[in-house]
Amino acid sequence: MPFVKVSQTIDVYYDKTDFLDPWREKPILILQHGNGRSGAFWYRWLARLSKHFVVIRPDMRGVGQSGKVGDVNTDISIEHCVSDLVAIIKAESHRAVFYCGESMGGILGIVLASKFPELIQKLVLVATPVFISETMKARYAMGHGSRLDAMKKMGIRQWVLETSVLTRFPPDCEPALLNWYVDEFAKGQPEVLVRYSELVNSANASVFLPQIASPTLAIMPTQGQITDAEQEQLLSTLVKDIQIEHIDSPYHMIHLTHHDDCIDKVLKFLLPT
């Protein structure tokens, strides 16, 4: 499986799923995970999407199967993550690709589509906040001084378990899915996970929204705790060509809990009619 060398010391991994007929044109779809996750979290999407696209799932630098980084504060930034995506797209395609990002993966998509319009044919944002609200920052602090304090003091596993029950997965979710999510998330290096949380906490993609030229679909949970109505209003006001669809859930991980509904909407948006 492929890696791209993005600096002297950092390799970024991406998984490539290709079952398409080799004698036909093969459109590429990037699936970009969000904060602290990895490409493995998209597994429920692969069977249906790989009938239509070559599916590429990058692991952000420092997580999943990507190589370790040196100093997290200098080696991990939004700009680095976007330039890693540019390197992957250029390694795999000579033309624009489809891009679908969930949560922070969508924020990267917004920046990418804004700065490199020639690379993105269509953009899909799944449960993507434009910024993290003060309410959510307080909720993710879990009674500690901040989200970062909470992650450090509670330990990654306990923090992700408690915040997942609170915001990511509904009470009737399969227990095995929640357990797997927590175990998989907690595999990451704590300092890397804290750094990504720091980035997403301080990110604000508003300034990039007017520069998005590609047709855009946003799939949002209804009553989203992280993606609230104010943020949807920003998206619909500032992105030129956007449609917003909803999944009936107040919880954030709709790409795992409502994967088939999400995929239906993605296919309808991406496939030619």
Partner 1 sequence: MIHSLKRPDGCELLLEIDDFTNPWEDAPWLVMVHGFAESRQAWRAWVPHFARDFKVLRLDLRGFGESTAMSETFPWSMEVIMDDLQDVVTSVCKAPVHLIGAKSGGTFALEFAARFPDLVKTVVGVTPPVIAAQGVEGWIRAIKKDGVLAWARSTMTGRLGSQVSEQEIDWWVNVIQGKTSEPSLLGYLSWIPSLDIRQSLPKILSPSLVITTTGSGLRSVESVRAWHATIKGSTLHVIEGDAWHAAGAYPDVCAQIVRDFLSLNATHATHATHATNGA
3 binds partner 1 (CB under 8 A): no
CA distance 177 to 158: 16
Least distance in Å: CB of 176 to partner 1?
5
- Residue showing tokens 């993507």: 128
Residue 47 in contact with partner 1, rule: CB under 8 A: yes
> How is residue 60 annotated by DSSP?
P
Quote the least distance from Cβ 105 to partner 1, whole Å. 19
Check residue 172 for interaction with partner 1 (CB under 8 A). Answer: no
Contact between 176 and partner 1 by CB under 8 A: the answer reads yes
**Which residue's CB is nearer to partner 1, number 181 or number 251?**
181
Closer Cβ to partner 1, 47 or 271, answer by number: 47
Quick one: which of 177, 186, 234, 244 contacts partner 1 (CB under 8 A)? 177
Evaluate whether 91 touches 196 at the Cβ level (below 8 Å).
no
Q: Which of 255, 226, 220 is nearest to 40 (CA)?
A: 255
Say whether residue 207 binds partner 1 (CB under 8 A): no
Beta-bridge partner residues of 11: 5
Out of 51, 90, 95, 268, the residue judged to bind partner 1 by CB under 8 A: 51
**What are the helix and strand counts (H, E) for the chain?**
12, 8
Name the packing angle between helices 134-141 and 147-154 (round to 10°): 20
Does residue 46 interact with partner 1 by CB under 8 A? yes
Size of the site for partner 1 (CB under 8 A): 20
Kindly state the smallest distance separating residue 137's Cβ from partner 1, in Å: 31
Render the burial of 111-148: b for 16+ CB within 10 Å, e for the rest: bbbbebeebbbbbbbbbbbbbbbeebeebbbbeeebbb
Site string for partner 1, 9-38 (x = CB under 8 A): ---------xxxxxxx--------------
For binding to partner 1 (CB under 8 A), which residues are involved?
18-24, 40, 43-44, 46-48, 50-51, 176-177, 179-180, 184
